[in-house]
A and B are shown apart, each in its own frame.
Chain A
Amino acid sequence: MEDQKIQEARETMDVKHLCKVLYEISTLLNTGLDRETLSLCLNLCENGVNPEALAAVIKELRRESASMKLSETNPAVTASGSNGNTGGGGSTTASLSGG
C-alpha cells in the first residue's frame, strides 16, 4: 500500500518535473505560452494532434484575438487593417473569416 503511494507520488513528480523543464524551454525560446496553455498543448499532442497544426492554430488564434481587441479599441483603424489583412491574408485566415 505504502509502495503504491510512493510510486504514485514518484510518477506525479516525474511528470511535474518534465512539465517544468518544458516550460523553461518554452520560456527560453519565447513561445509566449503559459503553464496552462502548455499543459493543454501537451495533452493535445499526447492525443495525436499534429504539433505543426497546433502551432498554426495557436498563431492564428493569437493574431485574430489581437485584431479583435484592436477593432474594439479603434474601430476605424482596424476596419481598414482587417480588410487589408483579409485581402492579402493566407488560406488559414480566409478560412477562419469565412467560417
Chain B
Amino acid sequence: MSLNIVNTSIEKLVQLITQAQPGSDNYKKYVKYVHSTFRFGTFGSTSQKEVLRKYKGISEKFRLHAQDSKAEFLDKYVTSFMQRPQIEESIPLQTRYDILCLILNLSESPLRTTYVPSKPIFQEKPKKPEFNVADIFKEEPLTGFHWTVKKDYTEDDEDDTDWSSDVQEWIRETLGNRSNLQNNVDKVSDPMEEDHMTEINEVVDQERNYELTQALRCKQYWRSDYRDYSYLDMSMFDQNIPSTLGPSLAKHRSQDTRYLFYDPTLVKYITELDAIREVLFMLSGRPSFLFHMDPDNNGKFSVKLNALLMHLTEGAFKSILEVFCNYGNYLATLRTVSMRICKESYITYGQTTQAFAASILKMIMKFDNFLADLESRYQVNNSKFQDQDTYISLLQLQNQISEQLYEFKILHCFFDRYLLHDFPSLFTDSFLISSPYKLSYKILSGLFDELVFHQTEGNKSIFLMLGEHLDNSFVPFIRMIDEWVSTGVLNDPANEFFIVRTPEVNEFSSRYWSEMYKIRVENSTGDNIVKKSLAMPAFLEPLVGRILFSGKAQNLLMSLKSKEGKKKSHSAFQYNPKEFKLGVESLPLFDLSVNNNKYLEQEPFTETSNHHQDNDYEVEDMEIDDEIKDHETRSQISSLDVQIGETSFRHPDSKKKEDKNIDENSLNDHNKDDNSLLKEKDQDADEKSLGDKEQKIVDESKEDNTKGVDESWNKLLELKKFSDLSETVNTFPNTMSYLFPLWAQPTGKFEKIDNEKTDSNGMHDLILFQPFDERFKERYDDYLHPRYLRIGQHLSRALVEQCHLWRHIRALSGFYFMQQGESMHRLCDILFDRIDKNQMWYDTYVLNDLFLNILRNFKWLDKSLVTVWVDDKSSSKPNVTTVKIFEKIFVEYHLPWPLDNIIRNDALKLYKRIVVFLLQVKRAKYLLERISLSRVSQGHSEKTTAM
C-alpha cells in the first residue's frame, strides 16, 4: 500500500515538475531516475537539532540584512509548525522535521526574494463573552422559597415541575444567540477543546470570507503594508512588454550602479482605475494618495508619486497627473476664495461679490456632483466584464472633462486678471479688502468684457458659462436698480451701488435735485494730481443717466407730497409694473428657461417684430392682451380696463379722446390767460390734461396702486431666474439668503446645457449670434426706457400742476426780461422820473414799494416772491445819475421749492444781470429821447422866437 502511494506520488511529482507527458520516453526516464536515486542514493539521516539550528541561522541572516519581518514570520511559522499538538491523523513529528529539511535543501537565496504573507494565519482570538446565561444560573441558582416545588400540588404538578426549566428556556430564547453559545459551551466543557472549537470555527469563517476580504485588502493600495510583488515573479516580466514597462525599468535601474540604493521592491503599482479615482478625488478638493494637499497654501495640490502605473514610466505618469493637478489647483483656489467670500457678511465684500462667489460655488458643486457620477460610472463599468462603454484611461478622463476644466481655468484667469491684481491679499489669510463697490464694478465690468471677448472668439461654452455668472452676479444690482427706479428707495446695504446719497443735503434745499443723489465719484491720484472720475460698471454708462433720473424723480415726487402735508408713501405714485411690457425678470440674459421665450419671440430679428419705443401703442396692446391671457384675474382685468380707458398713452382710441380734451383745455387756458406762452407749450398742456386724468385714476384707485407696488415687490421676490443657487444658499444661509431672498427651483448647469442643446437650439443661435453688448443694451433699454418715460411724465405733471412751473417761468420772463411790456414800461417811467426829479429812489424800501405797486397788476406773479434791494455799502454818496448805479440794485425772484432745483441760482444771477442791463438800456434810451426832445423843443422855440 505504502509502496503504491510512493510510486503514485513520484509519478505525480515528475509530471508536475517536468511537465512531461505520462508514457513518454522522458517521463519514463525521469521516473526511473527518481526511483534509482531513492533506492541507491546515499544521503544522511535528518538531525532534528541540525534542522532547527539551520532555521535559526536563516532567521539570523534575515535580521542581519534588515529583513526583520521575514525573520519574525519564519520564527513564528516554524514554532507553530513544530509545536502544533500531535493528534491522531496529524503529521508525525519526524515527518515535520523531514519536510523542514526538504525545504531547507530546496531553498534558493531567500534574502533576495520578497515575501508577502498570503493570508493572515494567526489572528487574535475573539474574547469570550464575559457573561452568559449559564454563568448567571451558576452564580445564582434558582433556589429559595420562590423556586421550591411544592409536592402537594395535584393538577398543576406537571406544569410546575417544568416551570423552572421553562423559565430557563424562556431566558435563553430571549437572549437569543447567547443561549446557543451556552449550548456549545455546555457540550465542550474542556477548555482546551473549547479553544480548538473556536479555532475550527475561525478557520471555517476564514475560508468562507477569505476571497472577499483578500480581494478588498489587495485593493487598498493606500495602506502602508500594501505590496504587490506579483509582477516581480511573473514569467512574462519583460522590458519589451509595455504592460510591465514600469517594473522593467525599475529592475533595470536597480541593476545600475548609479541607483545603488534604489529598491524596486518599494515601488507600489496601482491600476489605472485607482489612478482615475485619485484624480477625481483631487479635483473634488480632497487630498489623495497621489496628490498632496497643502493646507497652508489655500489647499493647493502637488503631485506625490506614491504609486505608479505598470504600463507607464514615472515621467509619463507624473506629467499626466500634473495636468490634472494644475486644474485641481485652479479649482481649489476658486473653491477656497468663494467659500471665504460666502462665509463673510455681505457688508465685507458687497452683495455682488458674494453673488459672483455663490455662482462659482454653485458651478463647483455641480462639477463635484458630476465627478461623483463619473466615479460611480467608472466603477460600474469596471465591474462589468463585458460590454464596457467607458474606457478606463486617464487620457480618456482628461478628454471627457476637459471642457469643464477649461471653464474653471477661464474663471481662475478671470480672478487673476481682474481681482488678484488689485486685491492681492484676497487669496491670503490677511484680507485687506477694497471697497465693495470697487470689487463689484471690477467683477461686473470684467465679466461683461470677457463675455464680449469670448463671443467674438466664438467660444460658445465659455460665453454661456460667463453669461450665467454675469446673470447671477448682477442680481443684487438688478434688485437695487429695480427698487430705485420703481420706488426711489436706495437700498444699498453694502455701499456698492453706483448711486449714492449725500447726507448733508437738506430735503427741501435748492441743491436737492443736483446734490442729494449722485453718481458715485472716485478719487484717483496720478502724477500727484487727484482726479475725480465717475465710478460705475462701464457697460452701464448709457443707462446710468436714466436710472439716476428715475429714482431722483421718484424721490422728488415723494418729497413734494410730504411737503404738501400728505403722508409720505412709496405707493403714492402710479408705478404699476403691469404697465410695462418687460419686468425685471426679463433682465437676466442667459437664463432661457423662464419668460425669456416671450421676450425672444419679439426680438428685433424678424420682420414682424416691432421696436418697442417706436410702436408704443401696438406693443402695449399686445402686452395687455398677453397679460389678460396669462396673468390677470377678472378683477385685475377690470381695473386694467379702467386704466386703458383713462390713461393717455395706452390706447389709440383713448388717445383720440384725450386729444379732444387737450384742445378744449388749451382753449380754456387761452381764454383765461392773456399770455401767449401757453400757446407755445401745447405739449405741456397735453400732459397737464393727461395728468388730470391720471390724477383722477390715482385718487380713485389709490388702493389699487398700493396693491400694484406691493405686487411689484412680490414679483421681484418671486424671481424664478435667480434660482439654481439654493444649494449655496443652504450652505451659507446667514449671508446668502439675504442676498437672494427666494431662490428656488434648482436646475443644474449641466442639465441646463443638455436642455439647451436639445430644446432651444434656435434661441441659442440667437444669443450667440447677436453681439452681446447690443443685446444687453436693447434688453435694458426695453426695461428701463418705458419706466423712465413714465416717471418723467409724472414728474413733469407734478411740476406743472402742483408747482405751477409755467406760471413761474412766465413770471421770470416777464419780470427779468421785461416781457410784460406795459407794466415794465410804467415801472421805468416812474423810476426815471424820480431820478430826474431828484426824488429819493436809491433806497431798498422805496424801490420795494415802487416795484410792488407796479407788479400789483401782474396776475401771474406772486408779489411775496419778489424782493428788491440796494446793495451799496460804501459810505460816500453815490452818483445816482449814472446808469451804472443800477448795478447796485438787486432784483430777486424767489422761486419756490422744488422749482429752485430746476431754475437754479446761477441762472437767476444771469437773469438779474439781464434786468439791470435792460434798465440801463431803457434809461439810456430815455435820456437820449429826452435830449432829442429837448433839442427839438429848443429848435422849435428858437424858430418861434425868430419868427
Q: Which residues of A are at the interface with B, using a C-beta cutoff of 8 A?
A: 6, 9-11, 13-18, 20-34, 36-37, 40-62, 64-65, 68, 92, 95-96, 99
Chain B, Cβ-Cβ closest to A20: B121
Contact B12 A25 (CB under 8 A): no
Q: How far is the CA of A30 from the CA of B74 in the complex (A)?
A: 12
Contact B200 A41 (CB under 8 A): no
Name the contact of B89 in the complex, choosing from A11, A31, A49 (C-beta under 8 A): A11
Contacts of A26 in B (CB 8 A): 103, 106
Nearest CB on B from A62, distance (A): 6
Nearest CB on A from B519, distance (A): 84
Contacts of A14 in B (CB 8 A): 84, 87, 90
Contacts of B102 in A (CB 8 A): 41, 45, 51-52, 54-55
Contact B90 A56 (CB under 8 A): no
Contact A24 B99 (CB under 8 A): no
Contact B33 A95 (CB under 8 A): yes
- 1/0 contact string of B199-214 vs chain A (CB within 8 Å): 1100110000000000
A-B contact pairs, 26 of them (CB 8 A): A10-B87, A10-B200, A11-B87, A14-B90, A24-B118, A25-B74, A28-B110, A29-B104, A29-B107, A32-B106, A40-B9, A40-B12, A44-B10, A45-B99, A46-B95, A47-B5, A47-B9, A50-B38, A50-B45, A51-B102, A52-B43, A53-B43, A59-B106, A60-B33, A92-B37, A96-B29
Interface residues of B in 526-561 (CB under 8 A from A): none
Contact B113 A30 (CB under 8 A): yes
Contact B99 A41 (CB under 8 A): yes
Contact A62 B36 (CB under 8 A): no
Contact A99 B13 (CB under 8 A): no
Q: How far is the CA of A29 from the CA of B110 in the complex (A)?
A: 5
Q: Can you add 8 more A-B contacts, CB < 8 Å, to A17-B203, A18-B84, A59-B106?
A: A22-B99, A29-B103, A29-B110, A47-B9, A60-B33, A61-B34, A96-B33, A99-B36
Contacts of B200 in A (CB 8 A): 6, 9-10, 13
B733 within 8 A of A: no
B108 within 8 A of A: yes
Q: How far is the CA of A60 from the CA of B17 in the complex (A)?
A: 10
Contact A16 B99 (CB under 8 A): no
Chain A, Cβ-Cβ closest to B32: A99
5 tightest CB-CB pairs across the interface, nearest first?
A55-B105, A51-B102, A29-B107, A31-B106, A52-B43
Nearest CB on A from B49, distance (A): 15
Known interface pairs A15-B91, A44-B6, A57-B33. Does A65 touch B13 (Cβ–Cβ under 8 Å)?
A: no
Contact B103 A42 (CB under 8 A): no
Nearest CB on A from B400, distance (A): 43
- 1/0 contact string of B79-98 vs chain A (CB within 8 Å): 01100100111111001101
Name the contact of A31 in the complex, choosing from B13, B14, B30, B108 (C-beta under 8 A): B108
Nearest CB on B from A40, distance (A): 5
Name the contact of B41 in the complex, choosing from A28, A32, A53, A65 (C-beta under 8 A): A53
Q: How far is the CA of A46 from the CA of B34 in the complex (A)?
A: 17
Contact B106 A11 (CB under 8 A): no
B196 within 8 A of A: yes
Known interface pairs A21-B77, A31-B107, A50-B43. Does A57 touch B95 (Cβ–Cβ under 8 Å)?
A: no
Nearest CB on B from A86, distance (A): 14
Contacts of A96 in B (CB 8 A): 29-30, 33
Most buried by A among B9, B32, B110: B9
Q: How far is the CA of A16 from the CA of B91 in the complex (A)?
A: 10
Q: Which residues of B are at the interface with A, using a C-beta cutoff of 8 A?
A: 2, 5-6, 9-10, 12-14, 16-20, 26, 29-30, 32-34, 36-38, 41, 43-46, 58, 70, 73-74, 77-78, 80-81, 84, 87-92, 95-96, 98-110, 112-113, 115, 117-118, 121, 196-197, 199-200, 203-204
Q: How far is the CA of A95 from the CA of B105 in the complex (A)?
A: 21
Q: How far is the CA of A26 from the CA of B779 in the complex (A)?
A: 83
Nearest CB on B from A59, distance (A): 7
Name the contact of A61 in the complex, choosing from B17, B199, B204 (C-beta under 8 A): B17
Contact A43 B9 (CB under 8 A): yes
Chain A, Cβ-Cβ closest to B107: A29
Contact B9 A44 (CB under 8 A): yes
Contacts of A32 in B (CB 8 A): 106, 108
Contact B109 A30 (CB under 8 A): yes
Contact A27 B118 (CB under 8 A): yes
Contact A68 B26 (CB under 8 A): yes
Q: How far is the CA of A49 from the CA of B41 in the complex (A)?
A: 11
Contacts of A57 in B (CB 8 A): 13, 33-34, 37-38
Chain A, Cβ-Cβ closest to B101: A51
Q: How far is the CA of A65 from the CA of B38 in the complex (A)?
A: 19
Contacts of A9 in B (CB 8 A): 200
Contact B17 A18 (CB under 8 A): no
Q: How far is the CA of A12 from the CA of B81 in the complex (A)?
A: 15
Contact A56 B33 (CB under 8 A): no
Contacts of A24 in B (CB 8 A): 73, 77, 117-118, 121
Most buried by B among A51, A57, A60: A51
Known interface pairs A29-B110, A45-B98, A99-B32. Does A22 touch B37 (Cβ–Cβ under 8 Å)?
A: no
Contacts of B70 in A (CB 8 A): 28
Chain A, Cβ-Cβ closest to B28: A99
Contacts of A47 in B (CB 8 A): 2, 5-6, 9
Contact B6 A49 (CB under 8 A): yes
Contact B95 A53 (CB under 8 A): no
Q: How far is the CA of A42 from the CA of B89 in the complex (A)?
A: 14
Contacts of A27 in B (CB 8 A): 115, 118
Q: How far is the CA of A21 from the CA of B99 in the complex (A)?
A: 12
Q: How far is the CA of A57 from the CA of B33 in the complex (A)?
A: 8
Nearest CB on B from A8, distance (A): 9
Known interface pairs A13-B203, A99-B32. Does A44 touch B13 (Cβ–Cβ under 8 Å)?
A: yes
Q: How far is the CA of A22 from the CA of B89 in the complex (A)?
A: 17
Contact A99 B203 (CB under 8 A): no
Contacts of A13 in B (CB 8 A): 199-200, 203-204
Nearest CB on B from A94, distance (A): 11
Nearest CB on B from A29, distance (A): 4
Chain A, Cβ-Cβ closest to B1: A47
Contacts of A25 in B (CB 8 A): 74, 77-78, 81, 100, 103
Most buried by A among B9, B95, B102: B102
